[in-house]
């Protein structure tokens, strides 16, 4: 090892790992097993470097201090969260939304209530690809169904990804999964083509409201009841008791007959929650 590298910077004692993993579980609901100790070390080293610290015990003392609780928790959660997403990820969900959910909602509400905006929440929106996909799909639906209006709420616990989502600027290779007709309609290319960047057009951006929400909070800060909640590829990081508590929170934030969409590898099987399965990883509020 080079002489200018402090070995203590690269070593987290078991006691410190247990304190950090317990704190992350309490704050964000994310379980970090002992096998992920090296991963946690590597990610937290970024924070040590930023703060000018050289030892994990020094960082722990700060994190668990009143000042650290106020200032550092957001950054700690940012570095340990996983943010993998794509435009039109799991496209069958958007087909189900347009072909099943929206027509049934109209039928249930009746013609007199069609002017009420459709409300959908992307919970765990990461860098924004999911809510902007929603916006494209719903905008197209509105074009074919005059009078249809919609509001999209999008939230994440990670402030870093929310900044990217609100900027709505993406490398060109990130938008490969968007159909060509929608690219032409909703994407703006950078004037400097060498940058290889595109931006979601303002007409779509105005439909999406971003905010930081910690799904572990006792009450989720969503003002209105939602018709649909997407929470995909999020609960795989939670244990069953945490999943159950979150599903009950979602149940309270869904309008009667509302729908919940989970990720392709997620299920409510084995959880005592008031939802009925209506399609693969799609559930309806009971």
Above 70 in pLDDT, residue 10? no
For domain 7-80, say whether CATH 1.10.3720.10 is its number. no
**Which is the catalytic residue, given 43, 89, 174, 245?**
43
Whether residue 156 lies in the annotated active site: yes
Q: How crowded is residue 274: how many other Cβ atoms within 10 Å of its Cβ?
A: 12
Mean pLDDT calculated for residue range 185-213: 91
Least confident of 4-8, 77-81, 114-118, 191-195: 4-8
Mean pLDDT calculated for residue range 271-280: 94
Q: What is the chain's mean pLDDT, rounded? A: 89
Condensed to tens digits (0 to 9), the pLDDT of residues 119-171 reads 999 999 999 999 999 999 999 999 998 888 999 999 999 888 999 999 999 99
pLDDT reported for residue 260: 97
Angstrom distance (rounded) from CA 229 to CA 252: 11
Angle among Cα 92, 85, 136 to the nearest 5 degrees reads 55
Whether residue 70 lies in the annotated active site: no
Least confident of 6-20, 28-42, 149-163, 177-191: 6-20
**Which is the catalytic residue, given 47, 78, 156, 205?**
156
pLDDT reported for residue 115: 59
Instruction: Please state the domain extents for the chain.
Output: 7-80, 92-285
Above 50 in pLDDT, residue 174? yes
Lay out the sheet containing 150-156: strands in order across.
208-212, 150-156, 118-123, 226-231, 254-262, 282-285, 275-279
Please identify, in words, the CATH class of the domain defined by 92-285: alpha beta
């Amino acid at each position: 090892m080079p002489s200018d590298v402090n070995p203590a910077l690269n070593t987290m004692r078991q006691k410190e790992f247990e304190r950090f993993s317990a704190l992350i579980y309490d704050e964000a609901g994310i379980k970090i097993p002992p096998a992920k100790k090296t991963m946690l070390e590597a990610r937290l080293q970024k924070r040590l470097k930023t703060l000018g610290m050289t030892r994990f015990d020094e960082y722990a003392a700060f994190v668990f201090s009143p000042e650290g609780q106020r200032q550092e928790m957001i950054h700690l959660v940012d570095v340990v969260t996983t943010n993998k997403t794509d435009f039109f990820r799991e496209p069958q969900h958007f087909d189900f939304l347009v072909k099943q959910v929206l027509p049934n909602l109209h039928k249930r509400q009746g013609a007199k209530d069609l002017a009420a905006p459709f409300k959908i929440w992307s919970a765990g929106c990461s860098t924004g690809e999911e809510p902007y996909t929603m916006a494209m799909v719903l905008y197209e639906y509105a074009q074919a169904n005059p009078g249809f209006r919609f509001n999209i709420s999008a939230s994440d616990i990670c402030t870093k990804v929310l900044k990217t989502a609100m900027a709505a600027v993406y490398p060109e290779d990130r938008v490969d999964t968007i159909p060509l007709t929608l690219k032409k309609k909703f994407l703006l290319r950078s004037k400097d083509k060498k940058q290889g960047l595109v931006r979601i057009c303002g007409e779509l951006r105005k439909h999406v409201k971003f905010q930081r929400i910690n799904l572990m909070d006792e009450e989720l800060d969503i003002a209105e009841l939602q018709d649909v909640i997407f929470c995909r590829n999020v609960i795989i990081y939670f244990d069953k008791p945490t999943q159950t508590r979150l599903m009950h929170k979602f149940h309270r934030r869904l309008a009667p007959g509302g729908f919940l969409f989970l990720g392709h590898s997620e299920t409510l099987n084995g959880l005592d929650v008031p939802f009925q399965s209506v399609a693969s990883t799609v559930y309806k509020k009971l």
